[in-house]
Amino acid sequence: MNILSEAAVEKALDKKMNDVSYKMIGQDVSVYYGDKRALYDVNLNVRENTVTALIGPSGCGKSTFLRTLNRMNDTIDGCRVTGRIALDGDDIYDPSIDVVELRARVGMVFQKPNPFPKSIYENVAYGPRIHGLARTRAEMDAIVEKSLQRAGLWNEVKDRLQESGTGLSGGQQQRLCIARAVAVSPEVILMDEPCSALDPIATARVEELIHELRANFTIVIVTHSMQQAARVSQRTAMFHLGQLVEENDTDKIFTNPDDQRTQDYIMGRFG
Amino acid sequence: MSSTHIVSIYDEELKYLTRRISEMGGTAEQMVSDAVRALVTTDGALAQKVISEDVVLDNAERQINEKAVLTITKRQPVSADLREILGAVRIAAELERVGDLGKNTAKRVIAVQGSGMPRKLARGLEHLAELALMQLKEVLDVYATRSVEKAKAIRERDDEIDAIYTSLFRELLTYMMEDPRNITPCTHLLFCAKNIERIGDHATNIAETIYFMATGAQPEGERPKDDNTASLVAAEPSA
Amino acid sequence: MSQVTTSPATAAFKASVRPERRDIGLRRRYASERRFRLYGLAAIAFGLLFLFLLLSSVVSKGYTAFLQTKITIPVEFSEQVIDKDGERATDPKVLMTANYPVVARNALAKVLGVDPGDRAAMREVGGMISDSVRVQLRDLVVADPSVIGRTVDVAILAHGNVDSAYKGQIDLGVDEKNRKVSDRQVGWMNQLAETGALAGHFNTGLFTNGASSRPEAAGLGVALVGSLYMMLIVLVLSLPIGVAASIYLEEFAPKNRFTDLIEVNINNLAAVPSIVYGLLGLAVFVNFAGFPRSAALVGGLVLTLMTLPTIIIATRAALKAVPPSIRAAALGLGASNMQTVFHHVLPLAMPGILTGTIIGLAHALGETAPLLLIGMVAFVADVPATPLDPATALPVQIYMWANEAERAFVERTSGAIIVLLIFLILMNVGAILLRRRFERRW
């Protein structure tokens, strides 16, 4: 197993003493798509049981960074990642790490609600099934119910679990996707603009859900909406042109950011 | 607020503001009443306590402002929610002023001490303070219930305090003319009376803010005033 | 525009003034749209007209092929004719070689009241009966030798010419010498028809008989079985191979020059004329591998080769059409590539794959040229028991019948075309039903 540089570990330990523990550590992360460089030496750590929002103008690399965290970039041809990313101290790009296991630990919710064209039950049960998390039908039922409850969807769908997941409304579909991600009991949930296809009420529901999930999961969310970042996150990281501009408490970023670019961006003066 | 927000933490933030305002109100009320009691009983220790308590209100106001700014930043409130937050900021400022006035009154206790203030004067002051405190207490109750009618009623009752203040002003002038040695304590008492009268004004302001929070409109019409001290002059000593 | 009347209620409002109308070419645009619709309608009408012509010509010529004229008469299985010397107990060959046509001729002559001594008349009587009567009666006697010496009612196939005449396909106005039925035969035919002895029956022989030079006895049996074998072989081979190849190319293979090259070649293969596949099959399967000629197995293999590119292209298109978000969702949950493909992508692509496969199969079913090259254009009388036996195929049978000169084969050709078309329609309906079923599951 690759060991992170001593400085980073020391930093993490140092932070731990200040009652902050980091779930994921990103160190000098650079991403290339072919010859094109999309991220420049990003150093960004993700705190445990915290919602970290990644904001910035389009094409700033925030989604790219998010996808490095569970190696979804692997599926893109010609994508190369350098630097180190660690989950609980283990380098996730180390050859000894199995990407399937990594993704079971670091779940993902996508921009467009993408339920499988199967029943609501099957959508939630799929993850636990492939990972063998339930031995009996009753166990699976319990997992499905708990996940749907966590996603705040149980009361709306409990009478029609066998109906197709694609028949739900957009907001319900997205919460179904969240339930599906939660069902695998990941440690980290990555959300890539989860509300960009939803109406304001559905968005509010998902945001409320994120707030509740925070107690049990570490969440990293990419969002185009600065207001959403302000609403849901405790930590905010601002990206610009593939670089991490600033990372700080959300309250600080949105009331009095350190960096002029952040200031201009959140005030709507560029981007 | 009849219904809750989908995002529950938003409700919590609004509730936090309401709770802190109520706390501030309670503290301010206590300070004023303690200050007046210290003045009447010339209790230096109590006055000292009031003076030291003011920092609590200052801090509370700062925290409310910070929370309000954060809430506006994060939630982009509109309509009733926005008025709720703006109202909280305004009421916090009013209550902080009330605290300052209480503190100022307490400070004068030490100056007045040992000057042998007439009982009659102190009683007048006490009555004025009672009225002002009742006004404050009621307005804080209204803040809890958001009753538009009551807020309007409180606003229209301010002239009572003004009337008592005017008569107290007259009385103090008379005392000072009678004996120049009374001038020092009476001046202080005059300021104390003014302070208490101002508290009534702040209560009225709060009532107006509550009206605004509940309805989104400013209350119409001039508010009744019976403070004639601005045009009052000391009569030429006849003797 | 009409003037706005100012009523007291609307006096407060003032109508806005319409600016000068601009010419934005609306008339021209609508005219061109109408023109384009007309072109489209004309094209469709043209196509429908030809479809109608084709179908009506085929059906009008072919429907009679499903009826076959038979003469039902009491036949005396005279021992005198069949087994003159009483040797059948010792020599089974006797029954096989007996002169059955004479038995039938005598029976018919008896019914018609023709003097057996009139040889010319007797020859004409014999001409009314199909030559296949020899086989028909032989099979009857061999199956049950006890009929010898008795008289049994038998429905004998009428001769092809009588069949044609009965169906009105022979112009009786033509001089007797220039047509294939004599006036006397026509008279007998009418006489038999009146008594009900001669009548049209549903032609089961069309579906069961093998090749025959006598049209009334020729059937599609061999071709149907041959085509069935080939379709099964094509389905069993090309579907798994094609789907596996497409999945690998689409989901697993790295995108590089080599896979690009393969893709180009597959697309080219789909466009290669089918006769080239016939040559390939002849060279590889028959000459090199030594499989028997004319066998359904070889035909199936050749058609598999021909169908594979179609199936691969259709399958890849169906896989590509599955939204990437589904793959991302499965991968994001920690499904492996294989699980993603088999649990999510493939089921979603299934309707498309099935459509492609059935269209490929239908294409193969109608294919003639490569089969000619591997010798499936043979005269096969016996229904093949295994795919290794000689067989023909439906389209080849049509081709062979179309080359026959006799009038009665014309209706058979059209009848066979109808059968082929019905099979194609059934396959397409099957494709639609399958797709519906698969789609309803989600």
Structural tokens at position C148? 């010898």
Question: How many Å lie between the alpha carbon of A51 and the closest alpha carbon of chain B?
Answer: 14
Question: How many Å lie between the alpha carbon of B13 and the closest alpha carbon of chain A?
Answer: 12
What does the pLDDT look like over C165-214, one tens digit per residue? Answer: 888 888 888 888 888 888 888 888 888 888 888 888 888 888 888 888 88
Percent of chain A with pLDDT over 90: 45
Among C259, C331, C333, most A C-beta atoms within 10 A, so best to mutate, is C333
What does the pLDDT look like over A171-208, one tens digit per residue? Answer: 899 999 999 999 998 999 999 999 888 888 888 888 98
Q: Report chain A residues touching chain B, CB-CB < 8 A.
A: 201, 204-205, 207-208, 211, 227, 230-231, 250-251, 254-255
Q: Are C306 and C239 spatial neighbours (Cβ–Cβ below 8 Å)?
A: no
Number of domains, chain A: 1
What does the pLDDT look like over B90-139, one tens digit per residue? Answer: 999 999 999 999 999 999 887 777 666 666 777 788 889 999 999 999 99
Q: Which of C194, C161, C195, C158 is nearest to C176 (CA)?
A: C161
The answer to whether the CB atoms of A126 and C343 lie below 8 A apart is: yes
Whether A20 shows a pLDDT value over 90: the answer reads no
- Reduce the DSSP state of residue C403 to 3 states and report it: coil
Q: Are C410 and C64 spatial neighbours (Cβ–Cβ below 8 Å)?
A: no
Which residues of chain B neighbour A207 with C-beta distances below 8 Å? 6-7
B107 interfaces chain A, CB cutoff of 8 Å: no
Examine residue A223 and state whether it is found in any structural domain, yes or no.
yes
Q: Where are the domains of chain C?
A: 68-203, 221-440
Q: Tell me what pLDDT residue B41 has.
A: 85
Residue A40 pLDDT grade (very low, low, confident, very high; cuts 50, 70, 90): very high
Name the residue range of residue A44's domain: 6-266
Q: Report chain C residues touching chain A, CB-CB < 8 A.
A: 254-255, 323, 325-336, 339, 343-344, 348, 442
Q: In whole angstroms, how far apart are CA C51 and each of C44, C62, C263, C403?
A: 10, 16, 35, 24
The identity of residue C215, as a single letter, is P
Percent of chain A with pLDDT over 70: 93
Q: Tell me what pLDDT residue C40 has.
A: 96
Whether A2 shows a pLDDT value over 60: the answer reads no
What is d(CA C413, CA C114) in angstroms, rounded to the nearest whole number? Answer: 36
What does the pLDDT look like over A206-243, one tens digit per residue? Answer: 898 898 889 989 999 999 888 899 989 999 999 999 99
Structural tokens at position B78? 């509109």
| Closest Cβ–Cβ partner in A205, A207, A254 for B73 | A254
Q: In whole angstroms, how far apart are CA C331 and each of A109, A144, B95, C120, C326?
A: 11, 19, 58, 88, 9
Q: How many CB atoms lie within 10 A of CB B153?
A: 13
Residue B239 pLDDT grade (very low, low, confident, very high; cuts 50, 70, 90): very low
Of C39 and A34, more confident: C39
Q: Are A180 and A113 spatial neighbours (Cβ–Cβ below 8 Å)?
A: no
Q: How many CB atoms lie within 10 A of CB C295?
A: 25
Q: Are C158 and C71 spatial neighbours (Cβ–Cβ below 8 Å)?
A: yes
Residue C88 pLDDT grade (very low, low, confident, very high; cuts 50, 70, 90): confident
pTM reported for the whole predicted model: 0.75
What does the pLDDT look like over C268-319, one tens digit per residue? Answer: 988 899 899 999 999 999 899 888 888 899 999 999 999 999 999 999 999 9
Structural tokens at position A82? 């350098």
> Which CATH number fits the domain that encloses residue A161?
3.40.50.300
What is d(CA C246, CA C250) in angstroms, rounded to the nearest whole number? Answer: 6
| Closest Cβ–Cβ partner in A75, A127, A164 for C333 | A127
Residue C10 pLDDT grade (very low, low, confident, very high; cuts 50, 70, 90): low
Fold of B8-231: Methane Monooxygenase Hydroxylase; Chain G, domain 1 (1.20.58)
Examine residue A1 and state whether it is found in any structural domain, yes or no.
no
Q: Which of A4, A5, A29, A52 is nearest to A214 (CA)?
A: A52
Q: Tell me what pLDDT residue C107 has.
A: 87
Fold of C221-440: MetI-like fold (1.10.3720)
Name the residue of chain C whose CA is nearest to A164's CA: C442
Question: How many Å lie between the alpha carbon of A111 and the closest alpha carbon of chain B?
Answer: 20
Which residues of chain B neighbour A201 with C-beta distances below 8 Å? 6
Q: Tell me what pLDDT residue B1 has.
A: 43
Dihedral of alpha carbons C72, C73, C78, C82, sign: negative
Which residues of chain A neighbour B69 with C-beta distances below 8 Å? 255
What is d(CA A114, CA A119) in angstroms, rounded to the nearest whole number? Answer: 13
Give the DSSP per-residue string, C140-187. HHHH-GGGTTSEEEEEEEBPHHHHHHHTT-S-TTS-GGGSSS-HHHHH
What does the pLDDT look like over C354-413, one tens digit per residue? Answer: 888 888 999 899 888 899 888 888 888 888 888 888 888 999 999 998 888 777 788 889
**Average pLDDT over chain B, rounded to whole?**
86
